A = this chain, B = another copy of it.
Amino acid sequence: MNPYIKRIKDLSNHLDSQVRTELEGGFVDKKFSKGSYLLRPGQVCTSHFLVRKGILRKFYKHNDKEITSEIYFHDDVAISLDSYIMQKPADVFIEALTELEITVIDYRRFDTVKRKYAEVMMLDKMFIEYYATWFEQRLKEFQTMNASQRYLNLLEKEPRIVQLLPVTIIASYLNISLETLSRIRSKLASR
């Protein structure tokens, strides 16, 4: 596990039980079937989606092409950040790639608890700090790596994505075409 995520987990495990109860009071468990959307463009993102079981992705459309921006597994939190923080309409889809079990954390309730307990605010801030550095890292990958380097990097850093998802989605996450991905793979296999 990433050291930063570890720090966040450690802290959240040491929350006062009173705080924890109050926080978890706002949690609602939900199930979604494969292919359903948890968020669509135009809707306001009013919650965090904490993944208990299954896989989902966030993507947006550009010239009819789907670009996958994030992929979430167990214990990840799916959210449209700009929609959530400004409570404005989203421009992304969040889609269930498998049968899904999710804990929904409502914006308003979470906000209330954050305002009441500094340590919860702190945890939320750390979550976003992590998110920002993740984006910075990913941007750097696009600025410095070509298609095959990005694929090898993904294989190393996020092997589950390569193992569990169809080529269409892997390619759109790497921002390369299906055909190019296929060629990269066959070249690697032949060696």
B-contacting 9-mer, from A17-25, A81-89, A158-166: A81-89
The 8 Å CB contact of A86, one of B3, B60, B131, B138, is B3
In the complex, chain B residues whose CB is within 8 Å of the CB of A82 = 133, 136
Shortest Cβ gap from A9 to chain B (Å): 15
* Nearest neighbor of A116 in chain B, beta-carbon distance: B118
| Cα(A81)–Cα(B125), bound, Å | 13
In the complex, chain B residues whose CB is within 8 Å of the CB of A115 = 118
A187 near B: Cβ within 8 Å?
Answer: no
A184 near B: Cβ within 8 Å?
Answer: no
A178 near B: Cβ within 8 Å?
Answer: no
Shortest Cβ gap from A118 to chain B (Å): 6
A144 near B: Cβ within 8 Å?
Answer: yes
Q: How many copies does the complex hold?
A: 2
Q: Which residues of chain A in 1-45 are interfacial with respect to chain B, using CB atoms and an 8 Å cutoff? A: 3-4
| Cα(A134)–Cα(B155), bound, Å | 27
Q: CB-CB contacts of A36-67 with B at 8 A, as 1s and 0s?
A: 00000000000000000000000010100001
In the complex, chain B residues whose CB is within 8 Å of the CB of A122 = 121
Q: CB-CB contacts of A95-133 with B at 8 A, as 1s and 0s?
A: 000000000000000000001001001101100110111
The 8 Å CB contact of A175, one of B121, B124, B143, is B143
In the complex, chain B residues whose CB is within 8 Å of the CB of A129 = 81, 85, 128
Q: Give 11 A-B contacts (CB < 8 Å), ordered by A residue.
A: A4-B85, A62-B144, A81-B133, A82-B133, A125-B125, A128-B129, A128-B132, A135-B139, A139-B142, A142-B142, A143-B175
Known: A81-B129, A118-B121, A139-B142. 5 other contacts (CB 8 A): A3-B86, A67-B143, A82-B136, A121-B125, A135-B136
